């Protein structure tokens, strides 16, 4: 049995169209439902079966100022470090709708359940999760 999301269709569409840019040694752009060979190679190199692209910015898609988003992102970074997880900085940015890019992290080795829990804790509507197939999936949280 599936439940309908309370997130409006336009927001879900924007999430699907967003470019999830991963910085670091091997920059890449993740797109929902498109296999990512660079991500597959990263998973292989790091010997992980999954990863998640997450942010703490703009909870429930309500714009916050840069300072508030920076504080939220710092809190998420600290929590991930306490969990012993490494992160690669990134930016989630829609290619054309004018919404400011959101600082984010790619977290190699993060399970789907852990990604959902963190997304909910930080007030997110969704997270991007990638399994062993290295296909980014939009995971709605509400």
pLDDT digit string, tens, across residues 76-91 = 999 999 999 999 999 9
Report the distance separating Cα 90 and Cα 73, nearest Å: 11
Q: Work out the burial of residue 23: count CB atoms within 10 Å of its CB; fewer than 13 is exposed, 13-18 middle, 19 or more buried.
A: middle
Please give the pLDDT value at position 4: 67
Q: Where are the domains of the chain?
A: 9-140
pTM over 0.85: yes
112 Cβ neighbours under 8 A, 6+ residues apart: 50, 52, 129, 131, 139
Name which residue leads in pLDDT, 13 or 98.
13
Contact 115, 70 (CB under 8 A): no
Instruction: Spell out the alpha helix ranges (H) of 1-142.
Output: 9-17, 37-46, 66-82, 112-121
CA angle 24, 84, 134 (to 5 degrees): 50
| Main-chain dihedrals φ then ψ at residue 118, nearest 5 degrees | -65, -40
pLDDT digit string, tens, across residues 25-34 = 989 999 999 9
- How many other C-beta atoms lie within 10 A of the C-beta of residue 88? 20
């Amino acid at each position: 049995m599936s439940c309908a999301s309370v997130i409006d269709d336009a927001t879900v569409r924007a999430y699907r169209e967003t470019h999830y840019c991963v910085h670091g040694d091997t920059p890449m752009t993740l797109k929902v439902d498109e296999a990512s060979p660079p991500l597959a190679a990263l998973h292989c190199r790091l010997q992980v079966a999954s990863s998640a692209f997450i942010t703490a910015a703009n909870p429930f898609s309500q714009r916050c100022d840069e300072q508030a988003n920076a504080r939220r992102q710092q809190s998420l970074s600290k929590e991930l470090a306490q969990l012993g997880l490494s992160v690669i900085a990134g930016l989630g940015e829609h290619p054309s709708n004018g919404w400011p890019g959101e600082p984010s992290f790619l977290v190699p080795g993060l399970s789907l359940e852990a990604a959902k829990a963190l997304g909910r804790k930080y007030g997110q509507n969704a997270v991007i999760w990638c399994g062993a197939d290295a296909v980014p999936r939009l995971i709605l949280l509400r």
